Amino acid sequence: MLPRLLFFVGTRPEIIKAAPLFHVLRKSSEVQVDLVHTGQHYDWNMSGIFIEELGLPTPIYHLGVGSGSQPFQIHEIIERAEEIVGTYLPDAILAVGDTNSTLAVAILSSKMDVPFIHIEAGLRSFDLTMPEEINRRIADHVASLNFAPTERAASNLLNEGYPPERTFVTGNTIVDAVLRMLPKARAQSNILKKLKIDPSKFLLTVTIHRRENADNPERLESIINALIELKEVQIVWPLHPRTKGNMEKTDLLKRLYTAKHIKVTDPLPYLDFLKLLDSSTVVATDSGGVQEEAATLKIPCVVLRDSTERPEIIDEGIGKMAGADDLRIKRYVRDFLYNE
């Protein structure tokens, strides 16, 4: 009987990063692999469309955890996945990254004595106020195997005492996803036409979803002030539901809608987002995955955070850390527009 693997995903970036590896495992004659979705991202534009566009099969189980506090999500995923793991009896469980889904699956695997394989292991921001930093550290240290995307990430694991014989530098699967899907995005997406993007003008793509920004009105306002003042550039902002909900509590969303150079959209399907990113002059984001996608496409990135677990982007000069400081955001965007 072939070894049986369960591959858990729960969010947009997990689906993107899981897809290349899942396809390779599915083609293998040496293992059997199935997909499980926790439902942490449940909106079609944040989940279902990505599974469809990336050619993944319908998950054999969908836990439907939905939104809620972090403790709620983690508890519900563990409780709902326990029965599935007990029934399926996998030889190993795989998950990607640093989400609540990944943390929950890592803990469950450890408690049920099922080997846990962590993909994108060893990333460190060294900022313990970030929920994702806690998630990734715990997931790394309960894993039976850690697949690190970079030498620096592997060094982080070794410096923390993780066994070298169970640490492997494998590269980043998001690069595989981008390179595989980019020709299709360029050929099929009409997002630039739909949004009436002028190809002769600068284009800035913005994404914000992390708690440090999305749940902080002062930081959101500072970021929006900077974007409103960057009138010389076309700005497209696919708005995360969480960020949108918080902005609706103030006048911030109205201010965005009235800025003529800013186009606010719903979350975009993967092909449309990839085409938009590929056509951008600069990206401004608090997303780790978008930082990686931008770097893969060699698009300069202004990081809207005070720390990053992907320091290589800063070291290579393709990214600059602005936090939520409106003056730095404007300066770094303009540096990339005019001086690079």
User: In this structure, are residues 332 and 227 in contact, taking their beta carbons and an 8 Å threshold?
Assistant: no
- Per the structure, the complete domain to which residue 264 belongs is given by 187-338
The per-residue pLDDT for range 276-332, each reduced to its tens digit, is 999 999 999 999 999 999 999 999 999 999 999 999 999 999 999 999 999 999 999
Q: Specify if 181 maps to a domain.
A: no
Asked if 141 and 199 sit in the same domain, the reply is no
pLDDT in the model for residue 1:
84
For residues 137-149, average pLDDT: 98
Please identify, among 139, 171, 203, the residue that sits at the C-terminal boundary of a domain.
Answer: 171
The per-residue pLDDT for range 254-263, each reduced to its tens digit, is 999 999 999 9
pLDDT in the model for residue 78:
98
Asked if 14 and 145 sit in the same domain, the reply is yes
Asked if 49 and 155 sit in the same domain, the reply is yes
Total domains present in the chain = 2
- Say how far apart CA 224 and CA 121 lie, in whole Å: 33
Q: Check pLDDT > 70 for residue 340.
A: no
User: In this structure, are residues 182 and 279 in contact, taking their beta carbons and an 8 Å threshold?
Assistant: no
Please identify, among 110, 143, 171, the residue that sits at the C-terminal boundary of a domain.
Answer: 171
In sequence order, the β-bridge partners of residue 104 are none
pLDDT in the model for residue 90:
98
The per-residue pLDDT for range 21-46, each reduced to its tens digit, is 999 999 999 999 999 999 998 776 67
Catalytic residue selected from 41, 118, 209, 240? 209
- Say how far apart CA 68 and CA 113 lie, in whole Å: 28
For the chain, what is the mean pLDDT?
95
For residues 79-101, average pLDDT: 97
Distances (CA, A) of 58 to 33, 34, 37, 122, 275: 13, 9, 9, 30, 25
Asked if 167 and 198 sit in the same domain, the reply is no
Q: Specify if 176 maps to a domain.
A: no
Asked if 149 and 202 sit in the same domain, the reply is no
- Say how far apart CA 70 and CA 101 lie, in whole Å: 10
37 is catalytic: no
Please identify, among 117, 143, 171, the residue that sits at the C-terminal boundary of a domain.
Answer: 171
In sequence order, the β-bridge partners of residue 118 are 95, 146
- Say how far apart CA 87 and CA 310 lie, in whole Å: 38
Asked if 146 and 194 sit in the same domain, the reply is no
204: left (phi over 0), alpha (psi -120 to 50) or beta: beta
Determine the distance from the C-alpha atom of residue 160 to the mean position of all C-alpha atoms in its chain, rounded to a whole number.
Answer: 25
Asked if 214 and 101 sit in the same domain, the reply is no
For residues 178-203, average pLDDT: 97
User: In this structure, are residues 39 and 74 in contact, taking their beta carbons and an 8 Å threshold?
Assistant: no
Asked if 142 and 204 sit in the same domain, the reply is no
In sequence order, the β-bridge partners of residue 204 are 235, 282
Asked if 149 and 90 sit in the same domain, the reply is yes
Q: Check pLDDT > 90 for residue 199.
A: yes
Residue 26, both tokens:
């599915």
Q: Which CATH number is 164's domain given?
A: 3.40.50.2000
Q: Specify if 177 maps to a domain.
A: no
Write down the pTM of the prediction: 0.94
Asked if 16 and 128 sit in the same domain, the reply is yes
pLDDT in the model for residue 263:
97
For residues 124-144, average pLDDT: 96
57 confidence band (pLDDT: 50, 70, 90): very high
Asked if 205 and 150 sit in the same domain, the reply is no
